[in-house]
Amino acid sequence: MKPLALTMGEPAGIGGEIALGAWRALQGSGPAFVLLDDADRFGDLPARRVASPEEAEAVFASALPILHRPLPRRPVPGRPDPANAPAVIFAIDAAVALAKAGRVAGVVTNPIQKSALYAAGFAHPGHTEYLAELAGTGVPPVMLLACPELRAVPVTVHEPLARAIARLTPDMIVETARTTAAALRRDFGIASPRLAVAGLNPHAGEDGTLGTEDKDIVAPAVAALRAEGIDARGPFPPDTLFTAGARPGYDAAICLYHDQALIPVKTLDMAGGVNVTLGLSIVRTSPDHGTALDIAGTGRADPSSLVAALRLAAAIARNRAR
């Protein structure tokens, strides 16, 4: 399989540290990846410049292969510099271009510091929206959070809870679930995906006595999905949907807002959770954590989530190839 492309992320964060840690964890087994970063900041560490991603596999067993993307200013751990934002964005652009050209198997993105990018004029809410512009397929991108015990998908993502609830519609749920079911078949090799749709209110509304959204919004969405031939069920009470007894009954949980999806995944596996973007023309995963500016440069960064993201990206690429 072709190598994966790993972007630098925020240079003042832990991206470089976890990239090196991931290489150490994977150098003997793979998957191989090439890091798009400033090679000069790795000094005497076991890293080597390569001229193209095609060279990465031969180098990978002995050194972290780096496609050199120079930074305007030397990064200081814990102190993002907007002057480096164009290089961060360029690394994303270059990785996506390599994936679209078929030269890498997929893209894994290190965490970005949005405030630093915004200060430099970045106009997108985050990675997902920017990647949709670069490699979209005409459907809104969908965020899937995955760990070995659970896959969860939020219908609404980065917005205040009151606004998320106010704009929730059956069509939004159907569109998200439809994209999820297609991705579970293509990317995860699940022939007949089973979706569990979470309720919004306590006890999924208790027949309307604890709120009518579950009857008026969620239940019609489930009915529409079933009419399309998608094995969707719900709305299920959110307080029991993620228990050990419930999780074997579905392949992904469709959740209605950000924390409803992320809390159970991070509770089950904070170190190994992976963020997957569905609905793109390329494979894209990322660690399920941020830039960790508070520990950058201390040697305490845990590469487990990045390792999981690289392994999952490779698995998705293999499924797509089949």
**Confidence at residue 127, expressed as pLDDT on a 0 to 100 scale:** 85
**Could you give phi then psi for residue 266, rounded to 5 degrees?**
-70, -30
Whole-number mean pLDDT of the chain? 95
- The per-residue pLDDT for 261 is 97
Rounded to a whole number of angstroms, the CA Rg of the chain reads 20
DSSP label at residue 106: -
241 and 195 Cβ atoms separated by less than 8 Å: no
Q: What is the DSSP letter of 54?
A: G
Residue 106 belongs to some domain of the structure = yes
> Using an 8 Å Cβ cutoff, are 254 and 278 in contact?
no
Query: Among 135, 150, 172, which residue terminates a domain?
Result: 135
Q: Beta-carbon neighbour count of residue 156 at 10 Å?
A: 22
Rounded-to-integer distance, Cα 226 and Cα 140, Å: 21
Q: Which amino acid is at 228?
A: E
* DSSP three-state, residue 296: coil
Terminal CA-to-CA distance of the chain, rounded, Å?
12
Give the pLDDT band (50/70/90) at residue 120.
Answer: confident
**Residue 241 falls within a domain, yes or no?**
yes
Q: What is the pLDDT of residue 178?
A: 97
Same-domain check for residues 162 and 262 = yes
Say if CB 3 and CB 60 are below 8 A apart: yes
Is pLDDT above 90 for 138? no
Q: Are residues 53 and 154 in the same domain?
A: no
Please indicate, yes or no, whether residues 128 and 150 belong to a single structural domain of this protein: no
Specify whether 80 is located in the same domain as 165: no
Asked whether residue 251 falls in the same domain as residue 146, the answer is yes
**Do both 84 and 156 map to the same domain?**
no
**Cα separation, 24 vs 8, whole angstroms:** 17
Give the domain range for residue 225: 137-279
147 and 183 together in one domain? yes
pLDDT tens for each residue of 250-309:
999 999 999 999 999 999 998 889 999 999 999 999 999 999 999 999 999 999 999 999
CA 36/CA 7 separation, integer angstroms = 5
Q: What is the CATH number of the domain that holds 124?
A: 3.40.718.10
Q: Enumerate residues 6+ apart whose C-beta is below 8 A from 314.
A: 1, 4, 30, 31, 105, 106
Residue range 123-143: mean pLDDT, rounded: 89
Residue 234, Cα to own-chain centre: how many angstroms? 25
Distance CA 206, CA 51 (A): 61
Written as one letter, the residue type at 148 is: P
What pLDDT is stored for residue 84 in this prediction?
Answer: 95
Residue 64 shares a structural domain with residue 166: no
On the 0-12 / 13-18 / 19+ scale of CB atoms within 10 A, 121 is: exposed
Residue pair 111/288 in contact (Cβ under 8 Å)? The answer is no
In this predicted structure, the answer to whether residue 50 has a pLDDT above a threshold of 90 is: yes
Distance CA 295, CA 287 (A): 16
Residues 128 and 164 in one domain: no
Q: Are residues 184 and 125 in the same domain?
A: no
Among 135, 159, 191, which residue terminates a domain? Answer: 135
CA nearest neighbour of 145 among 96, 183, 192, 89 = 183
Helix (H) or strand (E) holding 60: helix 56-60
- For 70-95, the pLDDT digits (tens) are 999 999 999 999 999 999 999 999 99
Does residue 122 have a pLDDT over 90? no
Q: Is 113 among the domain residues? A: yes
The angle formed by the CA atoms of residues 225, 254 and 139, to the nearest 5 degrees, is: 65
The DSSP output letter for 257 is S
Q: pLDDT digit string (tens) for 159-208?
A: 899 999 999 999 999 999 999 999 999 999 999 999 999 999 999 888 88
pLDDT at position 119: 84
pLDDT in tens, 9-48: 999 999 999 999 999 999 999 999 999 999 999 988 899 9
Q: Does 146 share its domain with 267?
A: yes
pLDDT of residue 156: 94
